[in-house]
Amino acid sequence: MAGKQYKNKDCAYCGGVGISKTADHVIARSFFFESDRGNLPQVPACMKCNNIKSELEHYASAALMAGSNHIEADRYRQEMVRPRIGRNLKLQREIGLVGNEARWLNVNGIIQPMHELKLNPHKLQELVRYVVLGLYYFHLGKPLGGQFYPDVKMQHPDEEPKIWASVAEWFPDGCPKFGSNLGRGSFIYEGAQSPASEGFSVWRMSWHGVRLHGNNTPPQGVGVWWAFTRPTEEAVKAAEGHESA
């Protein structure tokens, strides 16, 4: 079913030339209700990248949906999380679900249940790195390339205007822009590519409106992932060497 169009292409994730074996959903189907799985972005992937990413998705989909603040969060927990981790105590503990009851918080005048989970930021960050590479390929038609890498950070919403102001000049009006809202708020992203360099792009995404863990975030503090695709240190050094030569 995956079709020839995803075989023997460059892998969207590692950039390996002609080594893709399969189509990979950039945002795994397991993050969405079945009725929301049409038209999810797909890219070619090699088996190695596909396997590593699947492992990360297995953890992340359970963790993020358990802490979902989606409009249908309860349905996600009932229909998607419970069957998947019901007997998996290890995973339940890993995401801090054991003994975790929702706290009721007043968010802008609306009382909402908030689940605070022990999310593993390193695993999520690693998955976001893959997702950025996948979205880059999906929108620009080729891998990011080894000279660049996605620099990924979870950001507090209050910080966002500052982050954007510091880079806005590199992404002027009219530059290529991307974005979509998948699964009615399950995954929302936007991105832009700089005219300065095809490998320089910015991405911003949120999963299920999941909050940062910790007491230092206000209730309205929905965690937002930001990523910049930047030149690697080696590429910068090589360019500097070239200039001074």
Residues that bind Zn ion (CB under 5 A): 11, 13-14, 16, 46, 49
Between residues 46 and 97, which has the closer beta carbon with respect to Zn ion?
46
Give the nearest distance from C-beta 27 to Zn ion in angstroms.
17
Residues 217 and 232: their CA atoms lie apart, in Å, by 32
Residues 168 and 202: their CA atoms lie apart, in Å, by 10
Between residues 17 and 168, which has the closer beta carbon with respect to Zn ion?
17
First to last CA, the chain: 52
User: CA nearest 10: which of 146, 179, 193, 125?
Assistant: 146
The H or E element containing residue 238 is helix 233-244
Give the nearest distance from C-beta 185 to Zn ion in angstroms.
30
Between residues 18 and 172, which has the closer beta carbon with respect to Zn ion?
18
User: CA nearest 207: which of 140, 144, 121, 133?
Assistant: 121
DSSP conformational letter for 107: E
Tally Cβ neighbours within 10 Å of residue 2.
13
Give the nearest distance from C-beta 24 to Zn ion in angstroms.
9
Give the nearest distance from C-beta 105 to Zn ion in angstroms.
41
The H or E element containing residue 44 is strand 42-45
Give the nearest distance from C-beta 53 to Zn ion in angstroms.
9
Between residues 46 and 227, which has the closer beta carbon with respect to Zn ion?
46
Between residues 49 and 227, which has the closer beta carbon with respect to Zn ion?
49
Give the nearest distance from C-beta 11 to Zn ion in angstroms.
3
DSSP conformational letter for 25: E
Between residues 67 and 150, which has the closer beta carbon with respect to Zn ion?
150
Residues 133 and 140: their CA atoms lie apart, in Å, by 10
Strand partners, 177: 192
